Amino acid sequence: MVVNLRSLILLLSISLSLLFGRSQICESGLGYCDSDSRLSSKILIKGGTVVNADHQEVADVYVEDGVIVSVRPNIKVGDGVRVVYAIGKFVMPGGIDPHTHLAMEFMGTETIDNFFSGQAAALAGGTTTHIDFVIPVDGSLSKGYEAYVEKSKLTCMDYGFHMAITKWDDIVSKEMEIMVEEKGINSFKFFMAYKGSLMISDELLLEGLKKCKSLGALAMVHAENGDAVFEGQKRMIELGITGPEGHALSRPPVLEGEATARAIRLAAFVNTPLYIVHVMSIDAMEEIARAQKSGLKVIGEPVVSGLVLDDSGLWDPDFITAAKFVMSPPIRASGHGKALQAALSTGILKLVGTDHCTFNSTQKSFGIDDFRKIPNGVNGLEERMHLVWDTMVESGQISVTDYVRVTSTECAKLFNIYPRKGAIRAGSDADIIIFNQNSTFHITANSHHSRSDTNVYEGRSGKGKVEVTIAGGKIVWENEELKVVPGSGRYISMPPFSYLYHGIDKADKNYLTSLKAPVNRIKQSR
């Protein structure tokens, strides 16, 4: 039996190295290290400053069997407990990334990071849960779901699913019910761009919004006017602009602002909450601010690339350097990022994602003669926690508690998995990072854990470092070394009717009363 198990593990080891190439897994070559004391199921984190979204205090954190058992000063433990000292450091909930695309088939290819390499990268950067977008197969939600169950077999951290809606009929409508009621999906994304592939019409969006509302699911939109983008792309090609800069020029901020405004108005018309993914421009952000001021439940999600980069890279004379920055909506001219940071600090924008959707140089080169063929997407899963800290906390724009809120807690609340996730408190999952604000990080494709050969943050350094990541109660990142177990990640079911739905029924009732209709008219014969 033991021999058989060993051969099984060896076989797994070989397949993993073939499958995942340079991803760093355990030194044993297996990513299977349960003899290692670091994988102890009992951990005491001593003397750190424990930070939640609403409070921080110096306390110990005791973890057993994947769950936080106790958070208080001076916890005493017996033998068999791994003690990790965190004096002078922050102990925070692991990051939750609301927006990733692992193993996504898109623009004629598939993202280079699958559920193993993408998650390994995430853990090395302090993110312990992510929510990935299931893409339907030929419009079928159930086929898409099955495909993603297969893709996510070797996960090494917890994850959940959103689902994209790409066509509309009675079957899709019924399948949305199944996804929510049986499969643990509580959010659906509608693409207002990518004409000819993922893009949907306003008519479909309205049907989708109504259905989301009836299910208590959160409607999400990629807000760009796809018809106008198509027109802009033709214009650039006619002008002879075929390089990556044509990508940004063909889909300016006004098209993002227009679609954001339209989606907000349609969601308001249906009276259902709306989540705008990857807010990249002042134009979109201002629409969200206006909607919130008028009382609408609209959530804006900036992504790290939009917060910290500007569009100058797209004008780089080297094609590969420029193409790696191609994503949609595009990374904007300087000024937009700063405004998005300010909106994050004042609460107009609520949480930070990555839209991690990586393609390597060979894949980006598909568009060497035509920017329309460059697969859209950038990295960020490994970098998000560091870049948000450096950009937002080190600059004094947000507090440490706000940092926890925008990188973890708000996401857990919006997708209804709080306080299981997004908190350091008794009963929560033991997804924890130890963060040293006096250390530094450095980003380069030479040492990152993504399988991509490029990194849009290449050469960046900054203050703060995730020194230890604990996921599901196991230390998976320590001393710059990853120890991950393929297959150890769990699918996290997300129930419908998050806090955004509180009061919607009352507002509906008020609306009906306000109509003062139908008017009861006495039919008189003339």
| Sole residue written with tokens 């609306």 | 511
Q: Give yes or no for residue 300 binding ligand URP (CB under 6 A).
A: no
CA dist 51 and 29 (Å) reads: 35
Binding piece for Zn ion, criterion CB under 5 A, among 65-73, 144-152, 350-358, 475-483: 350-358
Q: How far is Cα of residue 256 from the mean position of the Cα atoms in its chain?
A: 20
Query: Residue 406 CB, nearest distance to Zn ion (Å)?
Result: 18
Residues 46, 213, 222, 247: which binds ligand URP (CB under 6 A)?
222
Query: Residue 166 CB, nearest distance to ligand URP (Å)?
Result: 12
- The region that residue 51 occupies, defined by phi over 0 for left and psi between -120 and 50 for alpha, beta otherwise, is beta
Give the residue closest to ligand URP by C-beta: 376
Q: Which is nearer to Zn ion, 189 or 421 (CB)?
A: 189
Q: What is the 8-class DSSP label of residue 1?
A: -
Q: Which is nearer to ligand URP, 16 or 352 (CB)?
A: 352
Q: Give yes or no for residue 301 binding Zn ion (CB under 5 A).
A: no
Query: Residue 381 CB, nearest distance to Zn ion (Å)?
Result: 12
Residues 213, 222, 356, 474: which binds Zn ion (CB under 5 A)?
222
CA dist 170 and 18 (Å) reads: 42
Amino acid at 8: L
Q: How far is Cα of residue 90 from the mean position of the Cα atoms in its chain?
A: 23
Encoding tokens for residue 236? 């650039």
465 binds, among Zn ion, ligand URP, none (CB under 5 to 8 A by kind): none
Q: Which positions from 79 through 138 interact with ligand URP, judged by CB under 6 A?
A: 101
Q: Which is nearer to ligand URP, 216 or 377 (CB)?
A: 377
Encoding tokens for residue 49? 């400053």
> Binding string, 253-292, against ligand URP, x = CB under 6 A?
-------------------------x--------------
Number of amino acids touching ligand URP (CB under 6 A): 9
Non-local CB neighbours of 24 within 8 Å, separated by 6+ positions = 120, 449, 481, 482
Number of amino acids touching Zn ion (CB under 5 A): 2
Q: Which is nearer to Zn ion, 97 or 355 (CB)?
A: 355
Nearest-10 crossing angle of helices 202-215, 170-182: 30
Q: Give yes or no for residue 355 binding ligand URP (CB under 6 A).
A: yes
DSSP readout, 218-238?
A: EEEEE-S-HHHHHHHHHHHHH
Q: Which is nearer to Zn ion, 33 or 340 (CB)?
A: 340
Q: Which positions from 323 through 342 interact with ligand URP, judged by CB under 6 A?
A: 327-328
Q: Give yes or no for residue 355 binding Zn ion (CB under 5 A).
A: yes
Q: How far is Cα of residue 24 from the mean position of the Cα atoms in its chain?
A: 22
Query: Residue 128 CB, nearest distance to ligand URP (Å)?
Result: 22
| Sole residue written with tokens 């390499």 | 117
Kindly provide the b/e burial profile for residues 78-93, where b requires at least 16 CB atoms within 10 angstroms of the residue's own CB.
eeebbebebeebbbbb
327 binds, among Zn ion, ligand URP, none (CB under 5 to 8 A by kind): ligand URP
Residue pair 275/301 in contact (Cβ under 8 Å)? The answer is yes
Non-local CB neighbours of 159 within 8 Å, separated by 6+ positions = 115, 119, 129, 130, 131, 132, 152, 489, 490, 491, 492
| Sole residue written with tokens 């009276």 | 271
Give the residue closest to Zn ion by C-beta: 222
Q: Which is nearer to ligand URP, 46 or 278 (CB)?
A: 278
Residues 92, 102, 176, 357: which binds ligand URP (CB under 6 A)?
357
The Cβ-side half-sphere exposure at 414, using a 13 Å CA radius, reads 30
Query: Residue 267 CB, nearest distance to Zn ion (Å)?
Result: 17
Residue pair 489/118 in contact (Cβ under 8 Å)? The answer is no
376 binds, among Zn ion, ligand URP, none (CB under 5 to 8 A by kind): ligand URP
Q: Which is nearer to ligand URP, 71 or 326 (CB)?
A: 326
Encoding tokens for residue 207? 């049907």
Q: Which is nearer to ligand URP, 105 or 146 (CB)?
A: 105
Binding site for ligand URP (CB under 6 A): 101, 222, 278, 327-328, 355, 357, 376-377
Binding site for Zn ion (CB under 5 A): 222, 355
